[in-house]
A and B are shown apart, each in its own frame.
Chain A
Amino acid sequence: MKVVLQDLTKIFPGRGRKSKGDVIAVSDFSFEIPDGKLIGLLGPSGCGKSTTLNLLCGLEQPTKGKIFFGEDDVTDLPAENRGVGMVFQNYALYPHLTVKQNILFPLENLKGDAKLSKEEMLAKAQEVAKLVQIDELMERRPAELSGGQQQRVAIARALVKMPRILLMDEPLSNLDARLRLQTREEIRRIQRETQITTIFVTHDQEEAMSISDLIVVMKEGVVQQIGKPQEVYDNPVNLFVAKFLGTPPINVFDGKVQGGRLWIGEDDVLAADGIPDQEVYVAIRPEGFVLNEQGAFSCELKRVEVMGRDISVVSVNKASENEVIRSIIAAENKVNTGAAKVRFDLKPNKVFAFDRRTEKRLL
């Protein structure tokens, strides 16, 4: 099922009179989510991603704009009738019901033609339990399950009625680091097998990048960029997106464009053809540095951290916005740790320049 959002806007009225304290949670969100894809809604907390999810499932009503599931306008349809599946951040498993009863719960709500016989329900529950690999735990109660198992039950409950779309609110945030890696692969697998259009919300960029077909980066209710994870990473449209994606984070410098060249401090680092002279932000991905004793860009060397496959060179530059500059280079390179200075060449496709005022991408 494809999902279309049209100028979706949600404003929470403030406490004050008139529109003084209003909070714009989502602003003019337009997007067509293709059928059968896994979409990651990504952004820092408070960026409106959870509100978007609540609008999609009908727990909140949009202030403006429309939502279509396929060709159907579901904007005013109450949550009960939308037929979406949702996995809540805290899972919201009913503590007084067993795993089986939890999974059966949505099926028992079906009315009219959709009503199923007891056997059909049980068969469906069993099938979905197998899919998420909890069929051994059917008689337990949620309190007797580990976090990861609870998560699977929540997914099973959301999937059992074969929803038109599946929504997940921070599905991995309550799991420990090891389980998180495992579960996100699991989510990817389940989504592939079921082919249900799935939208999940996360503040963890790594999580979103690793499994999504498309990611949507949001900030303060406004969509910043939509695209395939690698595209967004390689071509961020503005400074926020560049900073938000990638670990270690991107290095940001005060710089300028002068005479078609890009400058960081006193160093003329790259060509910047066709950009008028101005002050800019220069952002360099950690992997964009190449050690070169004759390199154009010079920094004061602080220390070298060995990480096995790579080494991380930590250095300082006066023009840097961050306290230190982190650069990742292959371990074959030898760094003279005693030296006071280190010089780099920069890979052009890993260096971005942004407008000082609008923070939009220039280069």
Chain B
Amino acid sequence: MEHKIEYEKIEKRDRARRAFTGAVTYVLLAFWALVVLFPFYWMVLTSVKSYSAYNSEYIPQLFTLSPTLQNYVDAFTAVSLGRYFANTILFTAATTLLMLGVTVLAAYAFARLNFRGKNLVFTLFLSLMMIPNELVVITNFVTITNMDMRNTFLGLILPSVTSVFYIYLLKENFEQVPDQLYYAAKVDGTSDLKYLWKVMMPICKPTIVTITILKAIECWNSYVWPRLITDDERYFLVSNGIQEIRENGFGRENIPAMMAAVVAISVPLIVIFLIFRKSIMAGVSRGGTKG
């Protein structure tokens, strides 16, 4: 019965090893979760510390016993955070809507309509995906400046509208809708536009939602183009606004109020993310990259 003893040893060792790797895994994962979450915690914490309390902490405190919302009041009154918000919402809504219109029409043409030159144009479209934004920003800047559209919403919105990747994504989805539906609709005398609106879009709603959200997030976070095209504070978006607050701020270095502004900017995104977590993650994993 020598065997038995050896087996027990193997079993024991295996159990111990399993427990050990399990523990190490969880420690590692928890550590990274902490790294990710800590900045969020710190920004919320700092945003509820009072100005004087924050500045008197030579050694930063990891919690506060007397939270205050004064910083949020300051953020929306002392600087034009409210205006930056309004601008960003307007910019995001307009850009996303325009993008949707353009994208849906183009994707429908590629997926459903048959016309001469389609394949060629589609190949050209695909090759456009490889053009880095950094190359075209220069001329766009000159174009918009020459059109006298600096510091206007049109100037902000127009170059931000198109996105070849979303056209591609939606086209792929449109193509999955069975042909029979289209022929049935045609026999019933439905026009293409109506078919697109009444049949295609409802069926492909998940993809449309995904690209809408991804585009909206992109707009909300856009910094480079707005920075180039606006130098009038009245047209700043939140990204430029927060940079403005950082550099010219509240007249003095008011970090708690700045953090309040940061929280205010971050919350809408996080809420949207938590609601649409699945479609956002699915959309990103299908080829979205940041920036």
Question: Which residues of A come within 8 Å of B, CB atoms?
Answer: 71-74, 76-78, 80-81
Contacts and interface: CB of A to CB of B under 8 A. Distances in A.
Interface of B: 1, 3-4, 7, 10-11, 14
Contacts of A74: 7
A80 B11 CA distance: 11
A81 B4 contact: no
Given A78-B14, A81-B14, A71 B7 contact: no
A78 B3 contact: no
A33 to B, nearest CB: 19
Contacts, number: 19
Contacts of B4: 72-73
Per DSSP, are chain A's interface residues mostly helix, strand or loop, or mixed? loop
Contacts of B3: 71-72
Contacts of A77: 7, 10-11
18 contacts: A71-B1, A71-B3, A72-B3, A72-B4, A72-B7, A73-B4, A73-B7, A74-B7, A76-B11, A77-B7, A77-B10, A77-B11, A78-B10, A78-B11, A78-B14, A81-B7, A81-B10, A81-B14
Contacts of B7: 72-74, 77, 81
A186 B192 CA distance: 60
Nearest to A81: B10
Nearest to B6: A72
A355 to B, nearest CB: 45
Contacts of A80: 14
A72 B1 CA distance: 8
A77 B10 CA distance: 7
Contacts of B10: 77-78, 81
A206 B260 CA distance: 74
Nearest to A74: B7
Nearest to A70: B3
A76 B7 CA distance: 9
Contacts of A71: 1, 3
Closest 6 CB pairs of A and B: A78-B14, A76-B11, A72-B3, A81-B10, A77-B7, A77-B11
B145 to A, nearest CB: 54
B21 to A, nearest CB: 13
A77 B7 CA distance: 7
A79 to B, nearest CB: 10
A80 B3 CA distance: 16
Contacts of B14: 78, 80-81
A76 B11 CA distance: 7
Contacts of A78: 10-11, 14
Contacts of B1: 71
B7 to A, nearest CB: 6
Given A73-B7, A76-B11, A81-B14, 12 more contacts: A71-B1, A71-B3, A72-B3, A72-B4, A73-B4, A77-B7, A77-B10, A77-B11, A78-B11, A80-B14, A81-B7, A81-B10
A78 to B, nearest CB: 5
Interface-centre pick from A71, A76, A80 (highest chain B CB count, 10 A): A76
Contacts of B11: 76-78
A74 B10 CA distance: 11
A71 B4 CA distance: 9
A81 B11 CA distance: 9
B175 to A, nearest CB: 28
B12 to A, nearest CB: 10
Nearest to B10: A81
A72 B10 CA distance: 13
B255 to A, nearest CB: 49
Nearest to A71: B3
Nearest to A80: B14
Nearest to B17: A78
A72 B4 CA distance: 6
Nearest to B14: A78
A71 B14 CA distance: 21
A309 to B, nearest CB: 48
B8 to A, nearest CB: 9
A77 B12 CA distance: 9
Contacts of A73: 4, 7
B13 to A, nearest CB: 10
A301 to B, nearest CB: 45
A267 to B, nearest CB: 54
B22 to A, nearest CB: 14
A73 B7 CA distance: 8
Nearest to B1: A71
